[in-house]
Amino acid sequence: MNIYLPIAEVSVSVTLLLGVGGGVGLLSGLFGVGGGFLMTPLLILCGIPPAVAVATGANQICAASFSGMLAHWRRRTVDFKMGLVLLVGGLVGSAIGVQLFALLRTLGQVDLLISLCYVVFLGIVGALMLVESVQALMRSRRGVVRRNRKRHGWMHGLPFKMRFRASNLYISAIPPFLVGLLVGVLAAIMGVGGGFIMVPAMIYLLGMATTVVVGTSLFQIMFVTAATTLMHAIANQTVDALLALVLLVGGVVGTQIGVRLAPRLKAEQLRILLALLVLVVCTKLGVDLIITPDEPFSLAEPLH
């Protein structure tokens, strides 16, 4: 059965979209990431115009992270104060990102920007995660107890210090603000929540208590993707509500299955799998930028 999407102006198989939503949802339930980095390229592969895929992806992630955040809220694993600081950065970042997106759209380089962002960030995060999780796996096999991480000295010299009780931190508000800003820019350009960057940054850079990391990240992502959706809807008119709804139905079911499947697998193994997945997507996009394309021409709507 096909469904005609009013904004994308294409007719796509509902089963395919439910499958994409479900598959990405499954992964996000398993790994605790939003899955936007897979959603946008998959939608483009389904024939959805890139601009619509990015904007609609943001809308879908907003719903998914709201759903996840509610669960964490009930367990009291959300640091709202930290979330707010990240959010302020995120909102500034997504405003910059949407402007950048609109500018590059007029230059016809949006596809390139999206691909480059993906290759660079997925490459870095995938490689770091792979190294870290392989090391962790080897350590756990050798039975060595991990030493406590060193606290970053330079961060204590910065002004605007704040106490984040839930995260067990007393640090300057500037590093979280900058992390939020970066994630906001990426959210707007790549149509992702940015969880795959924010979660490692919160643990390794800010040194937050790991229990509150996912919930706080979801809290921030929810607001940033909401703002991104709104800005894309106004500036580019590329949000397809019908597409978002179909993806959501698949996504919700997939996430819940993933969450129930996750405890049966080892954390280190899961992270290695996620790292490999990230690197596969990164390699595919990177190769496309380098090899000679079969069809050098592409069509686009002129901007008014």
Partner 1 sequence: MIRLAAFLLALVAAWPAAAEEVVAALNQTRVAITTSFDGSEIFIYGAIKRDAPEAEGELNVVITLIGPSAPVVVRKKIRQFGIWVNDPGVQVDAAPSFYAVASTRPLREALSYTDDLRHRISIDHAVRLIGDTQAERYPEDYRAAVMRLRRQGGLYTEQSGAVSVAEATLFSTSIRLPAQLIEGDYRARIFITRDKAVVDHVEKTIAVRKIGLERWIYVMAKDHALIYGLLSLAIALAAGWLASTFFRIFFP
Which parts of 87-244 are beta strand (E)?
A: 161-164, 169-172
Q: Please identify, among the stretches 87-95, 172-180, 185-193, 231-239, the one whose residues bind partner 1 according to the rule CB under 8 A.
A: 231-239
Q: Which residues pair with 169 in a beta bridge?
A: 164
Q: Using the rule CB under 8 A, is 237 a contact of partner 1? A: yes
Site string for partner 1, 259-278 (x = CB under 8 A): -x------------------
253 near 26, Cβ under 8 Å? no
Element (H, E) at 79: none
Q: How near is the Cβ of 36 to partner 1 at its closest, in Å?
A: 14
Distance from C-alpha of 54 to C-alpha of 238, rounded to nearest angstrom: 8
Q: Please identify, among the stretches 62-70, 153-161, 179-187, 197-205, the one whose residues bind partner 1 according to the rule CB under 8 A.
A: 62-70
Q: Please identify, among the stretches 88-96, 145-153, 238-246, 270-278, the one whose residues bind partner 1 according to the rule CB under 8 A.
A: 238-246
Q: Which of 38, 39, 42, 63 binds partner 1 (CB under 8 A)?
A: 63
Q: How near is the Cβ of 241 to partner 1 at its closest, in Å?
A: 5
Q: Within a 10 A sphere around the Cβ of 39, how many other Cβ atoms?
A: 30
Question: Which residues does 39 contact at the CB level (< 8 Å), separation at least 6?
Answer: 20, 24, 53, 57, 60, 61, 191, 192, 247
Q: Using the rule CB under 8 A, is 233 a contact of partner 1? A: yes
Phi, psi of 5 (to 5 degrees): -90, 120
161 near 170, Cβ under 8 Å? yes
Q: Which parts of this chain interact with partner 1 (CB under 8 A)?
A: 1-4, 6-7, 9-11, 59-60, 62-68, 70-71, 107-109, 111-112, 226, 229-230, 232-234, 237, 239-242, 244-245, 248-249, 252, 255-256, 260, 289-290, 292-293, 295-302
